Amino acid sequence: MTTRPFRLYAISRRRGWTPEELEAADARSNAEAARRSEQLRKIRSYLLAEPDGSLGSICLYEALGPEVLEEHARAADLPCDDIVEVKAIDVHRPDPDLTAAPVG
């Protein structure tokens, strides 16, 4: 039996959500990811301020392949606008704490 290595992917989910809808979508995503833990691992999500005032997201996952992420999205009733494999990470600074008060 050949084991496929996990790869890192970014998923664009640009459908606008309200905060309440996003909370429910995240719960569905987490539950489905837990059921598929041998196929994918949720790393983090960046919430996006959409032009209409709603929220979208860019989600990072480790997965065996894009088809696993498409299946996860369908099962969790999530949009999946684009899946792109991440080939490298170039970190200049750690992610900022967006909950902290702005300086200045």
For the chain, the domains span 14-85
Confidence (pLDDT) at 48: 93
Question: pLDDT digit of tens for each residue in the chain (104 aa)?
Answer: 456 699 999 999 987 789 889 889 999 999 999 999 999 999 999 999 999 889 999 999 999 999 999 999 999 999 999 999 999 999 999 989 888 655 44
* H or E stretch at 23: helix 19-35
pLDDT, position 19: 86
Determine the Cα angle at 82 with ends 79 and 85, to 5°: 130
The pLDDT assigned to 99 comes to 80
pLDDT of residue 82: 96
Query: May I ask the CATH architecture of the domain 14-85?
Result: 2-Layer Sandwich (3.30)
